[in-house]
Structures are given as structure tokens and as C-alpha cells.
């Protein structure tokens, strides 16, 4: 059985330089392989969770709500309703006779108690089995309370996190277009795909404000329901985590004609290019308006100021880390591009890079920017990651909460770049924080007492 499993995984692993590029992705996880992916429900939850003034109710067993409680660690500048992990706590009797009445009672009680701007109701795997009509219950409660109650169809069994992203986008799209767009500047945008893990969206908003660009909606870090309802009035959608919210941008473009740009906020190069791309977009859209030129001038001044402050501070870390080896395994492959560039900025070598939800185009681009011998992997499992880390003699592994034990077991430094982290890693300030964290992890004296790569 093991040989069959390995054979089925061969075409999802590519080593640059050993063979022509050919990688298979967008596949369901191999049953029994213990993929690093999460379930459909988890995928939807991590996207919608940071909407701070909405009610989030998990319709399913209590374990689903526990598993995703505070999963993003998303900070809010106001309401904290999103941090309460409500559940209908389905029991055996509910599985037998159905949970619709229980869901209806829970929604009526919670909306009456908390007066949310909207309510998101997540269906979990068990709901898909017993067949509760989520749509009908939500419609009924919305009519009674006057509060938008939105079903999030996120049941699923195959560890397909990308399907969860789509479910979240479908849910948000029900809100978009219902708000008043009066007073929105033509020089405006929505921030898609940043989840304000450590206050990062506040930094990014400040950059845009210094450029002279209005931010209409955060989707979804520090998000507000009313802002999302009027998001269709923005002049541009700026998509940072393309895996989670790119579909929403496509849906908005199709219905409302809203253009989108895919950007990254990680690393000096990509952060600078993101700001310039937005300024260029408005210059091209409004070539005869002097304000578009002023936006570009303010952007140049902002980037020059930030880079001139940052580069000298990075030199100390670059000298210490030069030649060290890094491995990357993240949820969305677009994040991996920026990490490769960030490690290159401090003269570190990336010897392995992979993601949970990358496309063939993403992996082709990763192959183009990595060095010969770099392992590129889609939807890895713990045994594969363990093997690659030992084989490549890695000094630091960048990943999320599921990858952390793998690194520590092998005596390897670890950097959390997923949604549990507490350190801001986006923006210009984030690049310095990233270099500091990598330095302190790689150079820690604790590794003298750890059996490096012996796991």
C-alpha cells in the first residue's frame, strides 16, 4: 500500500534541474496520506472569521467550533464578537431527527442577545450527511430578525481547503452590492486577503492613505459588514492572498466591473511593487487628472523613505545568515514567491518550497525563481516534509502550526508564517521583523543541544 501511495504522489513533487517541469496539483488529498491541508469548513472559517461585527455560528458537533476557535488570531479595532466561537453542538439525537429546529433557536437567541450586523452559519460534515436545509433556516430567521443571515455551505470530507475559500467568497458575495456607495472616491480600493494577524492591515491602510488612496473595505481583516456591503463601489480590488479571495475578486469583476490586482505585502521588493502597481493603475485609468500623478509622487516618496530606513538595519542579519538553508511550506503559493525573495535578500538559500493549494502556473513561477536542486512540492504530508528537511540539511523551516512539530522534532529552527502568529511580517516593518525572527531562530544556542536532523 505504501508503494502505491508513493507512486500516486510522484507527479506532485518536482526537483528543479533534474527533469523538465511537470507537476500535478489541484487534486484531492490522497486518502490516508495525512495531508497538511485542512477541511472545507476550516477553509471557509479562516476567511470569514475576521469580520469582527458579525456573528459566526458553527452548525455541527462542538469539536468543529473548538478546532477553529480564534483560528486567525485576527485583531479588531472595535468589536470582538468574532472571537466568540458559537456552536449548535449537535448530539446523537440531532443527527437522528435533524438539527434545523436547534439551529433556528440558536440563531434567534444569539441575534437577540448580540445584535450583530450579520450572521454567518457554517455547515460542517455531519450537516451534509443528515441533510439539514441551512438555506431555509437562514432565510426564515433573517425575515424574523431583519438581520442578514448567510449560510456558508462548507461541509466536505476530502481536506479541500480551496473549496472552503470558495464557500466563503460565495457567502460574502451575498452581502456585496447591498450597501450605499455614495461618497466613495474614484481613487479607492478594497484590501482583499489580508487578515490583520498582528495589526498588519493597519500598516497597509496607512501606506494607502499616505498615497492618497481611500480604503473602502478590509476583506476580511478587521472587517465590518457595512463596509463589505458597499465594497462594489471601490475603484480597485487589491488581492493579497490570492488563494483565499481571488474568486471573490473575479465575481465582483464579472458583476460590477471592478478590476483587480494581485499583490504581495511580504518583503521589500514585493511591498514596493504593490504600491507602485496601484499608483500606475490609477495613472493609466485617469491620465488627464493631476491627482493620479500626485499619487505616484507620494508613492515614490513613501517607498524611498521606508527602504532607506530598512536596508541598513538588515545588514547585520544578512551577514550572519548568508549561506544558511531555508525550507518553505505554506497554504497559498503566492506567499511562497515573496518568501523566496525575502530569504534571498538576506543571502539565504531556499532548498525546498511547497504549498497546500498552488496551481500549475504558481509552481511554474516558483521553479523560475528558485535555484537548481530546489524541491517543489504540492500538498505534502509530514513524512515527505520530514524527508526533504533532513536530506537538504535545512537551518530554518517556514510554515504553519501543523509544520512546527516537524521542525522541532528534527532540531531545526522554525518561523510561523501562518494565521497563528503574533508578529507582524507584512510591509516594510514586517521585513525587518522577519529577518530578526529568522536570525534569532537560526542562531539560537539551543540547537547545540538538539540532535539536528535525526528525527
Asked whether residue 25 is domain-assigned, the answer is no
Q: What is the pLDDT of residue 455?
A: 46
Average pLDDT over residues 140-164: 86
pLDDT value of residue 120:
98
Query: Is residue 134 located within the same domain as residue 233?
Result: no
Whether residue 359 sits in one domain with residue 295: no
Report DSSP state, residue 411.
T
Residue whose C-alpha cell reads 467550533 in the numeric block: 65
| 151 and 198, same domain (yes or no) | no
Q: Which of 62-76, 121-135, 211-225 has the lowest mean pLDDT?
A: 62-76
Q: What is the crossing angle of helices 290-321 and 427-442, to 10°? A: 10
Determine, yes or no, domain membership for 382: yes
Asked which of 121-125, 158-162, 363-367 is least confident by mean pLDDT, the reply is 158-162
Question: Is the pLDDT assigned to residue 4 strictly greater than 80?
Answer: no
Residues 245 and 290 in one domain: yes
pLDDT of residue 90: 96
Domain assignment present for 98: yes
| Residue 140 belongs to domain spanning | 40-172
Instruction: Quote the percentage of the chain above a pLDDT of 70.
Output: 92
Check whether residue 319 and residue 303 sit in a common domain: no
- The pLDDT confidence band at residue 1, using thresholds 50, 70 and 90, is very low
Tell me how many domains the chain contains: 3
**What is the domain-level CATH number for residue 239?**
3.40.50.12380
Does the residue 12 lie in any domain?
no
Q: Are 377 and 415 contained in the same domain?
A: yes
* Residues in Cβ contact with 182 at an 8 Å cutoff, skipping those fewer than 6 apart: none
Is 27 a domain residue?
no
Last residue of a domain, one of 278, 307, 336: 307
How much is the pLDDT for 3? 35
Same domain, 141 and 73: yes
Residue 36 has what pLDDT? 53
Place of cell 490583520: 196
112-135 average pLDDT score: 95
Which residues have a Cβ under 8 Å from the Cβ of 310 and sit 6 or more positions away?
Answer: 268, 428, 431, 432
Of 28-32, 58-62, 192-196, 331-335, the least confident? 28-32
Quick check: is 277 in a domain? yes
pLDDT tens sequence across 365-384: 899 999 999 999 988 888 89
Task: Judge whether residue 25 has pLDDT over 50.
Answer: yes
Whether 31 maps to a domain, the answer reads: no
**Residue 265 belongs to a domain:** yes
Instruction: Kindly report which listed range (14-23, 33-42, 197-206, 433-442) carries the lowest average pLDDT score.
Output: 33-42
Given a cut of 90, whether residue 9 has pLDDT beyond it is no
Q: Report the distance separating Cα 227 and Cα 215, nearest Å.
A: 10
Q: Which three cell numbers stand for residue 353?
A: 518550497
**Whole-number Å distance between alpha carbons of 128 and 302:** 50
**Mean pLDDT of all residues belonging to the chain:** 90
Instruction: Give which of 277, 284, 243 is closest to 260, Cα–Cα.
Output: 277
On whether both 303 and 192 belong to a single domain, the answer is: yes
d(CA 39, CA 53): 25
| Per-residue pLDDT, 262 | 93
- Residues 129-150, buried b or exposed e (16+ Cβ, 10 A)? eeebebeebbebbbeebebbbb
| Three-state DSSP class for residue 313 | helix
Closest residue by Cα to residue 72 from 48, 36, 88, 56: 48
Q: Which residues are within 8 A (CB) of 289 and not within 5 positions of it... i.e. 6 or more apart?
A: none
Residue 151 sits in a domain whose CATH number is 3.40.50.1980
pLDDT digits (tens, 9 = 90+) for 296-311: 999 999 999 999 999 9
Sheet holding 188-192, edge to edge: 214-219, 188-192, 237-239, 260-262
Contacts of 344 (CB under 8 A, 6+ apart): 350
Q: What pLDDT sits at residue 124?
A: 93
The domain boundary, picked from 307, 325, 353, lies at 307
CB 263 within 8 A of CB 277: yes
pTM passes above 0.75 = yes
**In terms of domains, do 195 and 289 share one?**
yes
Task: Say if residue 165 is in the same domain as residue 80.
Answer: yes
Instruction: Single out the residue in 288, 307, 326 at which a domain terminates.
Output: 307
Same-domain status, 344 and 423:
yes
Q: Higher confidence at residue 156 or residue 399?
A: 399
Q: Is the pLDDT of residue 5 over 50?
A: no
- Which three three-digit cell numbers place residue 432? 525587518
Both 332 and 434 in one domain: the answer is yes
pLDDT band at 265; cut points 50, 70, 90: very high
Amino acid at each position: 500500500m505504501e508503494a502505491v501511495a508513493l507512486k500516486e504522489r510522484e507527479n506532485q513533487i518536482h526537483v528543479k534541474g533534474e527533469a523538465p517541469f511537470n507537476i500535478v496539483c489541484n487534486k484531492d488529498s490522497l486518502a490516508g496520506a495525512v495531508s497538511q491541508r485542512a477541511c472545507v469548513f476550516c477553509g471557509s472559517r479562516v476567511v470569514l472569521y475576521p469580520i469582527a461585527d458579525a456573528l459566526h455560528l458553527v452548525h455541527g458537533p462542538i469539536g468543529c467550533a473548538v478546532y477553529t476557535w480564534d483560528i486567525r488570531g485576527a485583531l479588531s479595532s472595535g468589536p470582538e464578537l468574532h472571537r466568540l466561537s458559537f456552536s449548535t453542538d449537535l448530539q446523537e439525537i440531532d443527527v437522528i431527527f435533524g438539527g434545523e429546529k436547534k439551529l433556528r433557536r440558536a440563531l434567534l437567541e444569539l441575534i437577540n442577545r448580540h445584535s450583530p450586523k450579520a450572521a454567518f452559519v457554517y455547515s460542517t460534515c455531519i450537516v451534509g450527511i443528515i441533510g439539514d436545509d441551512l438555506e431555509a433556516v437562514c432565510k426564515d430567521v433573517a425575515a424574523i430578525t431583519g438581520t442578514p443571515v448567510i449560510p456558508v455551505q462548507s461541509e466536505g470530507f476530502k481536506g479541500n481547503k480551496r473549496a472552503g475559500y470558495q464557500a466563503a467568497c460565495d457567502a460574502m458575495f451575498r452581502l456585496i452590492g447591498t450597501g450605499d456607495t455614495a461618497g466613495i472616491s474614484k481613487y479607492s480600493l478594497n484590501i482583499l486577503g489580508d487578515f490583520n494577524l498582528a495589526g498588519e492591515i493597519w500598516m497597509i491602510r496607512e501606506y494607502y492613505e499616505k498615497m492618497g488612496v481611500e480604503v473602502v473595505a478590509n476583506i476580511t481583516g478587521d472587517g465590518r459588514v457595512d463596509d463589505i456591503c458597499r465594497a462594489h463601489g471601490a475603484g480597485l480590488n487589491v488581492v493579497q492572498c490570492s488563494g483565499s479571495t481571488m474568486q471573490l475578486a473575479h465575481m465582483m469583476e464579472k458583476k460590477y466591473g471592478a478590476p483587480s490586482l494581485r499583490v504581495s505585502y511580504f518583503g521589500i521588493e514585493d511591498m514596493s511593487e504593490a504600491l507602485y502597481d496601484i499608483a500606475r493603475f490609477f495613472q493609466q485609468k485617469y491620465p488627464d487628472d493631476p491627482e493620479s500623478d500626485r499619487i505616484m509622487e507620494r508613492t515614490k516618496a513613501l517607498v524611498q523613505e521606508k527602504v532607506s530606513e530598512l536596508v541598513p538595519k538588515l545588514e547585520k542579519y544578512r551577514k550572519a545568515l548568508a549561506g544558511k538553508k531555508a525550507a518553505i511550506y505554506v497554504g497559498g503559493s503566492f506567499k511562497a514567491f515573496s518568501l523566496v525573495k525575502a530569504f534571498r535578500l538576506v543571502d539565504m538559500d531556499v532548498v525546498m518550497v511547497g504549498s497546500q493549494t498552488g496551481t500549475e502556473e504558481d509552481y511554474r513561477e516558483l521553479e523560475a525563481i528558485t535555484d537548481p536542486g530546489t524541491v517543489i512540492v504540492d500538498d505534502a504530508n509530514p513524512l515527505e516534509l520530514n524527508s526533504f528537511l533532513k536530506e537538504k540539511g535545512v537551518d530554518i523551516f517556514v510554515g504553519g502550526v501543523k509544520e512546527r512539530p516537524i521542525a522541532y522534532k528534527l532540531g531545526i529552527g522554525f518561523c510561523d508564517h501562518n494565521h497563528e502568529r503574533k508578529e507582524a511580517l507584512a510591509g516594510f516593518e514586517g521585513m525587518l521583523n522577519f529577518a530578526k525572527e529568522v536570525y534569532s531562530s537560526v542562531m539560537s544556542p539551543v540547537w547545540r543541544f538538539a540532535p539536528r536532523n535525526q528525527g
